[in-house]
């Protein structure tokens, strides 16, 4: 029970974190960190699933070489994406990336067959064009051979667990993000599957976070030269793991999981499936221990990541801290974007798209690199206020502040601006939320913590939390009025 490993695969990078309890405190050590690079082949954008599997095995070799005997492992990753296993037990095709353009216009097409209100009533999941339901529908429309060859449907962590253990399971938190799972029946929605023409037999029994999902299979142990160890199903959707790690004291709290995506909302005990939730396009994603995340996706730091990538290709290599410094030095509140405009979803020239957005909305386009990054960061902070207020309205709660977790909290200027925008304190930490939530569920499964609240207390005692007190309230209030006007969000 001493050495637990969390594999946390984000859309931009993956890491293997070793967790130990020392005198009741959680200590984490990074065993391995690797980039997660999408691969474009012709028209299609893929994840490099075999590389991710390779990096997981590398991490286990690194642990062995450090003399660490690992006692159990768990895997979490971004949601919605999947692969098929064929009758011969092999992976059919290479999983697509949710930013692939094949789902464009698929929502509207599917709604002609199944009304949006019916899908929402059954699943409680927000409409995002890349949800699994629309990806599967796009495969159907394209007559994809995967649908002939496939025999079992597995999501990214399910697939990686299968490679490690040889056992096929579908884990609950990720299953809910497919928009094919019905939280009221606690099972895949047979009617939706039938309407989409998908065999129920592809979708397995759903495993709850905290269940033992198998043991490392003999071939893997032999290859790596390690003994077999248990593999736990954790909250395998990274956002589920991140929220499990929020060091909240109050039972009702607002959070922002801040990484490639910004996921803002609150934890609820029952899904909130009503007209307002659908109108505001909030989701009810399954979490650990019967909880749900009533939340909304915000495009997040993806826009900065892509900006950085595009500039790097053009010979301007900036680190994230350098970009934040430039933003801090640029003039404030010159132009605003709605980060959630469809323009910013696919990979590509973000600075160019920001300029296009500004022109189309009658604003001056940012000119310097600092102005571009400032525009993104201010617009994100202001969108956080917009969604924070929606979360309060929908949940009927008034939150005393906002917990921020994830790699994005290393951007301390964004944390400060978020506090300024919402007018309430931001409590930032821990930055490795998903990995820590992954570890916590393994420890709870092993009886080390009695429940999620005891784990949250240990997380609070083990990791620093930085408080950001709101500043410049008048300026940010005026900027918010401009933001909603320029972006059309006031309507």
* CB 38, CB 107: distance < 8 Å: no
Q: Of 166, 256, 282, nearest to 218 (Cα)?
A: 166
320 binds, among ligand ADP, ligand LRH, none (CB under 5 to 8 A by kind): ligand ADP
Does 304 help bind ligand ADP (rule: CB under 6 A)?
A: yes
* CB 260, CB 10: distance < 8 Å: yes
- Max CA distance (Å), the chain: 64
Pairing status of strand 254-258 against strand 262-268: antiparallel
Q: Which residue stretch of 75-83, 199-207, 343-351, 450-458 sits at the interface with ligand LRH (rule: CB under 6 A)?
A: 75-83
Site for ligand ADP in 313-352 (CB under 6 A): 320-321, 324
CA 351, CA 462: separation in Å to the nearest integer?
Answer: 39
CA 299, CA 222: separation in Å to the nearest integer?
Answer: 42
406 binds, among ligand ADP, ligand LRH, none (CB under 5 to 8 A by kind): ligand ADP
Q: Of 80, 405, 401, 126, nearest to 242 (Cα)?
A: 405
Q: Of 131, 146, 137, 139, nearest to 178 (Cα)?
A: 131
Q: Of 187, 81, 182, 92, nearest to 131 (Cα)?
A: 81
7 binds, among ligand ADP, ligand LRH, none (CB under 5 to 8 A by kind): none
| Of 7, 14, 26, 78, the one binding ligand LRH by CB under 6 A | 78
3 state SS of 275 = helix
Which residue is catalytic, options 81, 100, 158, 238?
Answer: 238
Binding mask 212-251 for ligand LRH (x = CB under 6 A): -------------------------xxx------------
Does 305 help bind ligand ADP (rule: CB under 6 A)?
A: yes
410 binds, among ligand ADP, ligand LRH, none (CB under 5 to 8 A by kind): ligand ADP
| Of 180, 294, 301, 355, the one binding ligand ADP by CB under 6 A | 301
Pairing status of strand 4-9 against strand 72-77: parallel
| Of 4, 5, 6, 11, the one binding ligand LRH by CB under 6 A | 11
Task: Give the total of residues touching ligand ADP (CB under 6 A).
Answer: 17
Active site residue 158: no
Q: Which two tokens stand for residue 206?
A: 């759903």
Does 420 help bind ligand ADP (rule: CB under 6 A)?
A: no
Site for ligand LRH in 86-115 (CB under 6 A): 98
80 binds, among ligand ADP, ligand LRH, none (CB under 5 to 8 A by kind): ligand LRH
79 binds, among ligand ADP, ligand LRH, none (CB under 5 to 8 A by kind): ligand LRH
301 binds, among ligand LRH, ligand ADP, none (CB under 5 to 8 A by kind): ligand ADP
Does 259 help bind ligand ADP (rule: CB under 6 A)?
A: yes
| Of 174, 260, 262, 418, the one binding ligand ADP by CB under 6 A | 260
* CB 477, CB 115: distance < 8 Å: no
* CB 326, CB 318: distance < 8 Å: yes
φ, ψ of residue 377 to 5 degrees: the values are -70, -40
Minimum CB distance to ligand ADP, residue 300 (Å)? 8
Task: Give the total of residues touching ligand LRH (CB under 6 A).
Answer: 13
CA atoms within 13 A on the CB side of 370: 10
3 state SS of 404 = strand
Q: Between 340 and 371, name the residue whose CB sits nearer to ligand LRH.
A: 340
Q: Which residue stretch of 18-26, 38-46, 258-266, 341-349 sits at the interface with ligand LRH (rule: CB under 6 A)?
A: 258-266
Does 373 help bind ligand ADP (rule: CB under 6 A)?
A: no
CA 469, CA 417: separation in Å to the nearest integer?
Answer: 10
3-state SS record for 124-166: CCCCCCCCHHHHHHHHHHCCCCHHHHEEEEEEHHHHHHHHHHC
**Residues forming beta bridges with residue 237, ordered by sequence position:** 77
| Of 5, 8, 10, 338, the one binding ligand LRH by CB under 6 A | 10
Q: Which two tokens stand for residue 154?
A: 């597995």
| Of 120, 261, 468, 480, the one binding ligand LRH by CB under 6 A | 261
Active site residues: 238
Q: Which residues bind ligand ADP (CB under 6 A)?
A: 10-13, 259-260, 301, 304-305, 320-321, 324, 406-408, 410-411
């Amino acid at each position: 029970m001493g050495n637990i490993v969390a594999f946390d695969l984000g859309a931009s990078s993956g890491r293997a974190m070793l967790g130990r309890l020392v005198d009741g405190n959680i200590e984490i050590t990074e065993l391995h960190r690797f980039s997660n690079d999408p691969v474009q082949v012709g028209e299609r954008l893929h994840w490099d699933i075999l590389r991710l599997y390779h990096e997981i095995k590398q991490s286990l070799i690194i642990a062995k070489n450090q003399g660490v005997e690992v006692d159990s492992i768990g895997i979490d990753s971004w949601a919605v994406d999947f692969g098929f296993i064929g009758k011969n037990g092999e992976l059919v095709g290479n999983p697509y990336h949710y930013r692939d353009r094949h789902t464009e216009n698929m929502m509207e097409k599917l709604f002609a067959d199944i009304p949006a209100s019916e899908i929402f009533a059954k699943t409680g999941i927000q409409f995002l064009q890349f949800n699994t339901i629309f990806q599967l529908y796009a495969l159907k429309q394209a007559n994809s051979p995967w649908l002939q060859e496939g025999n079992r449907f597995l999501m990214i962590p399910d697939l990686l667990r299968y490679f490690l253990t040889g056992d096929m399971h579908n884990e609950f938190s990720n299953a809910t993000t497919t928009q094919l799972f019905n939280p009221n029946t606690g099972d895949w929605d047979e009617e939706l599957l039938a309407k989409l023409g998908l065999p129920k037999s592809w979708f397995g029994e759903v495993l709850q976070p905290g269940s033992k999902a198998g043991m490392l299979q003999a071939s893997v142990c032999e290859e790596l030269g390690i003994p077999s160890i248990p593999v736990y199903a954790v909250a395998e959707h990274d956002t589920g793991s991140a929220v499990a790690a929020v060091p909240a004291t109050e039972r009702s709290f607002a959070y922002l999981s801040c990484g490639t995506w910004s996921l803002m909302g609150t934890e609820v005990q029952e899904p909130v499936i009503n007209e307002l939730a659908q109108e505001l396009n909030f989701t009810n994603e399954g979490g650990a221990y019967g909880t749900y995340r009533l939340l909304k996706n915000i495009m997040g730091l993806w826009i900065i990541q892509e900006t950085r990538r595009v500039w790097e290709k053009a010979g301007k290599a900036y680190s994230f801290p350098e970009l934040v410094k430039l933003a801090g030095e640029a003039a404030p509140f010159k132009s605003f974007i709605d980060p959630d405009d469809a323009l910013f979803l696919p990979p590509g020239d973000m600075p160019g798209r920001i300029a296009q957005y500004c022109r189309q909305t009658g604003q001056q386009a940012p000119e310097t690199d600092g102005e571009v990054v400032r525009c993104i960061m201010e617009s994100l902070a202001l969108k956080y206020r917009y969604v924070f207020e929606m979360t309060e309205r929908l949940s009927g709660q008034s939150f005393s502040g906002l917990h921020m977790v994830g790699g994005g909290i290393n951007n301390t200027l964004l944390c400060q601006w978020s506090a300024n925008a919402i007018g309430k304190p931001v409590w930032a930490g821990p930055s490795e939320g998903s990995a820590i939530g992954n570890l916590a569920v393994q420890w709870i499964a092993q009886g080390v913590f009695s429940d999620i609240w005891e784990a949250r207390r240990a997380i609070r005692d083990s990791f620093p939390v930085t408080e950001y007190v709101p500043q410049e309230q008048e300026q940010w209030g005026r900027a918010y009025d401009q933001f909603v006007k320029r972006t059309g969000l006031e309507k």
